[in-house]
Amino acid sequence: MTKDHGVQAPSTGRHRFDHSPWAFWSEAGAEEHARQSALQQALLDEHPAYAFGDRCYVSGLASVDNTELELGDSSYIAAGAYLTGSLRAGRDCTINPYTVVRGQVGLGDAVRIGAHTSLLGFNHTMSDPDTEVFRQPLTSKGIQVGNDVWIGSHVVVLDGVVIGDRAVVGAGSVVTKDVPSGSVVGGNPARVLRWRVPGAEPARPAGPGDPAGAVAAFADSARDQAQEVLGRYFDGRTDDGIFTDRPGVAPTVRAQCDAIEIADVLLGRAPDQLPVDRQIRRLRDWQDPTTGMVGTLLRDGSQLKPEPVLFDEEAGYHVLCAGYALDLLGSAFPSPIRVVADASATDVITHLERLPWSTNAWSAGHWVDILGTAFLWNALADEKGHPGSYESLFGWLLTRADPRTGMWGTPRRSDGLLQIVNGFYRASRGTFAQFGRPPAHPERVIDTVLEHARDVRYTRPERQNACNILDIAHPLWLTRQSGYRTEEVDALARRLLTDAIGHWTPGQGFGFRAPHSGVRIHAESVPGLQGTEMWLAIIWYLADLTGLEQLLGYRPRGVHRPEPHPGITSAGARKL
């Protein structure tokens, strides 16, 4: 260790457990267990940014000099290992003897790293030939390793590399480029030798690096199958038929709204399963006149009464989905969103300050999205509300955006930039995007999103879900006019677009989470209305970023409408 912390490694001759730590917790005695626990506690006392799960092992013969270190359950660091920088490792990860892990490195679950291997998540610059290299600044893109990965002995992994889930890196390899999920790579530089996971090999693109053919083919197929998809999720066993998100589950408010949005995108009209006037009447009748909110549906068809607060957690999203569904049907809520109309500027600021930006930025952004959309519906209904309440929302967001990230909140060790990127999408959708106003630091937003998009936990094809990919696509689209890092944005959008189209299930639509060969079935991968509505919007944003949107023949007009609501600038609407 860099310091002995007053705790000496046990005198065991050849230090068996230091070099074979996988046997420690099952074979070492109580005295050795106590000594290891004391060593870990000494490290935790000295380094507040360290965290160890259950049954971890850190050899007293390792050099651990991290600024941040997180080990999941049953992970270990063996003798001779040399660690610096920031390392976040999941469960059952091995840092074997004489392994070097430096810079910004993230490991998923069950990552096994052979002896004498180096993961180097930083690099020297050498742009100035008149300055010695060691005097020039360092750069760091970081290394991300997925789940269930085996990296052999004497491997070198260079900065900026992403190794996908279930990949194997052969002994002695030098890895300079990303390793696809499910592949077996080897050599110097490493290249794909074969596929560990059957069916993991990516399909060839329709053209040389251009997904145009696939985009056009997808759009035609989706339109042809739209009626089949919508019919799959309609329960017409009663006269008052209703949509469900998936066959066999209880109806929800959102399912009715998602069906209306899908039909509008693919068919240019309301769903054919019910008369339009009946769909409008149902949505309007669901609004609580006291609060202006739409309560949650119960299995017997009744509703929970919304709480008279800003905002009832269960009913909040209905301000978006039911409001826009009515808008697409040419109607509107019969009453204003009264809990917002009654809120003063002080109330808005107080609630913004209380939101969990540092621990759950997505939840905070969700609240802002609802508030901004409620301001929209109230403005269109000529509900003036309290003076300054709308302005206080935008003022707070503009002045509290972090100039380093362009966003609100702080990254978390457990999930990196996920929370602040997802929170930025939700907050900016309901405010800057919906009202046609620019965010405070667009170039920093792009930097943050591009860095987040390198996180293998969220962007590898088999790990994608609609929320995480939409929350990348929309901020990049919102800030596209800056002209900043356009080539990188285009390359990322093309890759994600190809992935997204491949998630479609014929006749059923999209699951919220992507399906993928070789990965166990996840409940969120089952196709449904929510996944279909969201992925259709994602595909439009990614296609527009790559100049291919005309091939789709559709443009979202509901919750995921790209431009500001037309009522904001129309002659009859109250100017905000």
Of 202, 161, 160, give the one whose Cα is nearest residue 181: 202
Beta carbons of 374 and 340 less than 8 angstroms apart = yes
The amino acid present at 262, given as its one-letter code, is I
124 as an active site residue: the answer is: yes
Beta carbons of 566 and 558 less than 8 angstroms apart = no
Task: For residues 82 and 95, give the distance between their C-alpha atoms in angstroms, rounded to a whole number.
Answer: 9
Q: How are beta strands 242-243 and 234-235 bridged, if at all?
A: antiparallel
DSSP per-residue letters across 496-531: HHHHHHTT-BTTTB-BSB---TTS---GGGSB-HHH
Local structure of 50: helix, strand or coil: strand
Which residues have CB under 8 Å from 524's CB, separation 6+? 465, 511, 512, 513, 531
3-state SS string for 100-120: EEEEEEEECCCEEECCCCEEE
Sign of the torsion formed by the C-alpha atoms of 124, 126, 128 and 130:
positive
Beta carbons of 452 and 421 less than 8 angstroms apart = yes
Task: For residues 143 and 121, give the distance between their C-alpha atoms in angstroms, rounded to a whole number.
Answer: 5
3-state SS string for 301-365: CCECCCCCCCCCCCCCCHHHHHHHHHHHCCCCCCCCCHHHHCCCHHHHHHHHHHCCCCCCHHHHH
Distance from the first to the final alpha carbon of the chain:
61
CA atoms within 13 A on the CB side of 325: 31
In the structure encoding, which two tokens stand for residue 177, read together?
């480029």
Q: Which residue reads 């600024």 in tokens?
A: 67
Which residues have CB under 8 Å from 426's CB, separation 6+? 362, 365, 366, 368, 369, 471
Q: Which of 15, 19, 116, 124 is catalytic?
A: 124
User: Which active-site residues does the annotation give?
Assistant: 124
